[in-house]
Amino acid sequence: MLSLFKSINQLLVASCLVMLSLFAFSSAYAHGHQEHHVNQASDMSVINGYARATFPLAKTGAAYFTLHNQGDTAKTLIGVSVSEATASEAQIHTTVMDGDVMKMRELEDGVTIGAGEKVAFESGGHHIMLLGLRKGLVEGSEVTLTLRFENSDELNIVLPVKKDEAKSHHNHH
Ligand SMILES: [Cu+2]
């Protein structure tokens, strides 16, 4: 009788250990899963970003920056959103020549930044187009953008609104 009691006790201890290890395993799994969902595009840095100041009634504007992918895998920027207080929509654009005419086109497949590479979004090339501006873009204010990458990585950036330096510099000549 005593030996039976002893073995039941051992069984309980053993099953308790199994449950403990299962619990540890499942919480570790949940933790890893959670981290994947809040993944920030931390390998991506934004250099020299700004949005170009417009006149107050302007309905479209543009934002420029350079993306530097410091990670070891290529990343694709697939979309951009803009705070609703600023504009109704943001699109990834590129500039193409149609004969002698410069035209802008939406890049619906996004832009891939290779591992270790930099891609410039600049006047006359790729840029972020802001559509449906509420009050234009006032010099000295800020624009908040969310850059969305493949694998649900996101990067929030705050850009200053500035006069186009390249253009005003060019006007001096
Ligand atoms: Cu554009």
DSSP E strands: which ranges in 30-86?
Answer: 44-52, 60-69, 75-82
> What would you report as the CA-atom Rg of the chain, rounded to the nearest whole angstrom?
26
Q: Domain range holding 7? A: 1-30
For residue 126, the CA-to-ligand 1 centroid distance in Å is 8
Binned at pLDDT 50, 70 and 90, residue 42 comes out as confident
Is there a single domain that holds both residue 97 and residue 139?
yes
Say if 60 falls within a structural domain. yes
Distance 93 CA to ligand 1 centre (A): 5
Same domain, 70 and 137: yes
Q: Say how many Å lie between the CA of residue 76 and the centre of ligand 1.
A: 19
Asked if 1 and 70 sit in the same domain, the reply is no
- In the predicted structure, residue 163 carries a pLDDT above the cut 80: yes
Compute the distance from residue 128 Cα to the ligand 1 centre, in Å: 7
Whether residues 39 and 122 fall in one domain:
yes
Q: Is the pTM of this model over 0.75?
A: no
Same domain, residue pair 118 and 72: yes
Domain count, the chain: 2
Instruction: Please give the distance, rounded to the nearest whole angstrom, from the Cα atom of residue 125 to the centre of ligand 1.
Output: 9
Same-domain check for residues 90 and 51: yes
Helices assigned H by DSSP within the chain: 2-37, 165-171
How far is the C-alpha of 153 from the C-alpha of 76, rounded, in Å? 10
Q: Give the pLDDT confidence score for residue 35 in this predicted structure.
A: 37
Higher pLDDT, 171 or 143: 143
Mean pLDDT along residues 47-62 = 96
Q: Indicate whether 157 and 117 sit together in one domain.
A: yes
Run of H or E residues at 100: none
Residue 152 has a pLDDT of: 81
| Cα four-point dihedral sign 73, 74, 79, 83 | positive
Segment 150-163 mean pLDDT = 93
